[in-house]
Structure 1
Amino acid sequence: MSKKAWIGLMAASSCTNKIILLTFDVEDWFQVENFKEYIPYSSWGSKEVRVEKNTNELLDLLDSSSIPVRATFFILGWIAKRYPDLVREIQKRGHEVASHGFDHHLCYNQSLDDLRDDLLRSKELLEDLTGKQVLGYRAPSFSITDDALSLVGEVGYLYDSSFNSYEGHGRYGSLSLPQNTGQDAPIYSINSSIYEIPMSNLRIGSKIIPWGGGGYFRLLPAFLHRFGVKRILEQKKCYTFYMHPWEIDPEQPRVKEAKSSFRFRHYVNLHKTKRKLKYFIESNSDNSFQKCGDFVKSRSCL
């Protein structure tokens, strides 16, 4: 079956099984884009690293679920190089290891040569640590572009999961997605070498409301988030969710010099996130939590 035919089959299928793609961007509190102005890259090595502890807490939470949960961890190369055992632990627990780039540089701020190097360095490092092919990539801050996506395919990734259709965030990139797949499809076949798994947002009429996770997940009441997820699953049969390990860590250091809007977006409801994540998983116990790589390679319907 051709890739185009497979995508069409999934979109047209009436199967009742619904899929949730649970994804985590493995970076630490001092590496986020909102704090880059206040925490230069040169100072990262002197900061308190909390990502190992927080990621292990997430792994324990997934293991404690009453249903089988498999997730995809998009790991920053900077983290993987310093904490190789964490990468291996993620794989050992049955989850997918994927790439979040190496140094959290935005795609459109790099030359194509530098971006190619970043994509290859992170992929090769993770493959050396796991002994398995790394299939997936997610751009820092969803900063994907058409040229960047072409490079992702050229250097050997099977899929990208970086496109966020919400236009109210000034940092997100954009893509020219195929028009014949259907509006807001859960997966796109871009060309012969790469797939795109976009973030899931809620569409009401012509308006797109961010519903994929992160700060939006922390802001929304749990019952309201669940309602939106249910609607997305009814429409698309698949929901793609993301968050970061630092989002379950209310004890992390505070960047007091950052703008108030950045501080609010970063710190709001950190003390509730772990409990909300557990509720989100348990309230979707009748759905299937899959790794992105398995989802892309699967011939089962959505």
Structure 2
Amino acid sequence: MKNLAKIILPGLVFAWATPLACMAEGQKTAPTLSAFGSLSPDAIVDYHESLEPDGRTLIYRSVKVVSLDESGKQVVIGQVLERTRDGNFRIVPGRQPEEADLYRQKLCQKLGGVDITNDGDGLIIEPGTLDGVACRGPSPNSKASKYLPKAGLIEGGVLKDTTMENSGSEPSSSAAPASSDYVNPVAPSTSVVVNTNFAVHGTVQYGSTQSGMATGRLTVMNKCVAFRSDPVAPGASGYLQMAVNCWSDSVAGFYPTLVNGCIPAFCRNDYGQVAVFQ
């Protein structure tokens, strides 16, 4: 006799009659409570897991994200995710629904960059994150990067609470390779109301004289996280942008944001905050 299990959450009911250990190829299972992290059930439209022909178990879910066209509105996008060994989710490159690709491409365009969420090994997000986006901007030494928004809230496709000019600590030459090591992370600060879907972004500008990996990690309210890593060659410089859709807490207060940027030589952090009001 098959085991019967059920998960009941506000607005969501999942039930299945197949033991998870005996899941056959192409078979679907319901999620465990841990699959939702700290997400509001209202933000999850659909969720199931499926055993693929290559032996991987992929997560297919649809979530509500902030509209890039209308302030205060939400849209639904699908996602294909793979759970990592440490319990996070990887946005599987090349497997994303068209509406998700278009959403991320549009968001990166508004940030002055190009969507690279599908590049390489993909973007890593934590279970409490509705969606994540990784963008690559122009060289941090170029004239264009000086006027790009560095961090802030994204509302109706409008970038708010942003720093529009760089600190001037980066090299000014756009042609010369990086002759020194530097990392300039910028974390977002903004305000939202309780129980709200919101999107924020942060950036990491870097230059490296060594080969290795450059990484950027955006953490919002200790639960919404997007992580990206890129290989770098000696003399390389780059501009990483990361954005997350996050669900604010039901308790008013001040919550931290953090952008961590690393190159082979060292790491640097920048801090901000999200003020959550009733």
Asked if Structure 1 and Structure 2 have the same fold, meaning a TM-score greater than 0.5 normalized by the shorter chain, the answer is no
TM-score, normalised relative to structure 2 = 0.25
More helix by share: 1
Point out which structure has higher relative CO (alpha carbons under 8 A, 6+ apart). Answer: 1
Higher strand share: 2
TM-score (norm: length of structure 1)? 0.24
Task: Determine which structure has more spread, i.e. the larger CA radius of gyration.
Answer: 2
